[in-house]
């Protein structure tokens, strides 16, 4: 496969723009991403919804009437991370979740960030996270999950979290993917898309642009040799990568490209960091027409 980007063509800050998910029940999913996570509802129709900050879409929901569960060893999304700007805002998320009595999977300190994990109504794993500052990284003392949970809980009690939305300064921090072949995935994301390897652990590779800990990760812990899921399967439809300096994209009549990685995960590559949410749904129709025929 020819190289799609060189290493200087990705966005200079966060190259991941938005994530599109197949879901089964629109009302339940909107309630989760709006009421529990705190995202603004930017657009809603019978089959689609777009949620995000006031200015940027982060999540596109697509209701599939005949959605099927992915097989346990299928490729697709492991989780997506919504990045909050600091610990206070992470605590605001925790307070919101607890107010609504929504179950939490885990609260943990990863050494470079602190995170809350929970599942959406279809079981898709969502991480809400905040990164350590450079000063915190130098002085950092790892907290146990219990210690971190207590700190966030104490902070949340000091905050007013009655607002229906809290999603200012939020973005997609990273996406973790399930792939079938680790070497093929690394070649695609590093050689073809221009990411750099930031960390390797057994069965997984994490990549980033610049010196960030990771914008993308991919693993074979459950999916080694696994098959691509059906296009209507619950979970990932595609995610976007911003490449503002790619001349081929700027000259493209549709202003974006749709490709699949070797594991079948869909990717929209666009020169724009933000796009109007109504344009997203127009673009989505084109993607649906192309998605079954594209192979790498």
pLDDT at 140: 76
* pLDDT one-digit tens code per residue, 186-215: 999 999 998 999 999 999 999 998 888 999
* pLDDT one-digit tens code per residue, 120-173: 999 999 999 999 988 888 887 788 999 999 999 999 888 865 454 566 789 999
Residues linked to residue 207 through DSSP beta bridges, in sequence order = 197, 216
Mean pLDDT (the chain) is 85
| pLDDT at residue 1 tops 80 | no
Helical H segments across the chain, by residue range:
26-30, 87-99, 134-139, 145-157, 182-186, 247-251, 277-291
Backbone angles phi, psi at 205, to 5 degrees: -135, 140
Helical H segments across 162-246, by residue range:
182-186
Q: What gap in Å lies between CA 129 and CA 115, rounded to an integer? A: 4
Q: What is the pTM of this model?
A: 0.89
| pLDDT at residue 263 tops 50 | yes
| pLDDT at residue 43 tops 60 | yes
Q: What is the CA radius of gyration of the chain?
A: 18
Q: What angle do CA 220, 117, 215 make, to 5 degrees?
A: 55
C-alpha pair distances (Å), 24 with each of 77, 105, 200, 258: 16, 21, 35, 24
Residues 6+ apart with CB under 8 A from 219: 78, 176, 177, 178, 179, 182, 203, 204, 205
Least confident of 45-59, 235-249, 266-280: 266-280
The count of C-alpha atoms lying within 13 angstroms of the C-alpha of 292, restricted to the half-sphere facing its C-beta, is: 6
């Amino acid at each position: 496969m020819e190289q799609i980007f060189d290493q200087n063509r990705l966005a200079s800050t966060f190259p991941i723009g938005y994530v599109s998910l197949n879901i089964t029940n629109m009302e339940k999913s909107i309630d989760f991403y709006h009421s529990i996570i705190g995202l603004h509802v930017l657009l809603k129709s019978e089959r689609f919804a777009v949620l995000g900050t006031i200015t940027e879409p982060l999540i596109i929901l697509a209701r599939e009437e005949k959605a099927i569960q992915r097989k346990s060893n299928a490729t697709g999304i492991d989780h997506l991370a919504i990045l909050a700007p600091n610990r206070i805002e992470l605590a605001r998320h925790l307070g919101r979740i607890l107010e609504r009595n929504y179950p939490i999977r885990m609260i943990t300190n990863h050494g470079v960030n602190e995170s809350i994990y929970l599942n959406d109504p279809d079981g898709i794993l969502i991480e809400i996270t905040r990164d350590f500052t450079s000063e915190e990284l130098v002085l950092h003392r790892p907290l146990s999950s219990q210690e971190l949970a207590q700190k966030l809980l104490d902070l949340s009690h000091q905050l007013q979290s009655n607002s229906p939305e809290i999603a200012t300064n939020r973005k997609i921090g990273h996406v973790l993917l399930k792939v079938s072949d680790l070497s093929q995935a690394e070649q695609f994301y590093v050689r073809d898309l221009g990411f750099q390897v930031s960390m390797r652990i057994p069965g997984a590779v994490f990549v980033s642009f610049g010196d960030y800990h990771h914008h993308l990760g991919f693993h074979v812990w459950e999916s080694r040799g696994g098959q691509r899921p059906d296009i209507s399967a619950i979970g990932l439809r595609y995610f976007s990568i911003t490449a503002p300096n790619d001349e081929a994209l700027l000259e493209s009549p549709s202003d974006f490209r749709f490709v699949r990685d070797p594991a079948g995960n869909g990717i929209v590559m666009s020169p724009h960091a933000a796009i109007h949410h109504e344009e997203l749904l127009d673009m989505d129709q084109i993607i649906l027409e192309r998605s079954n025929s594209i192979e790498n």
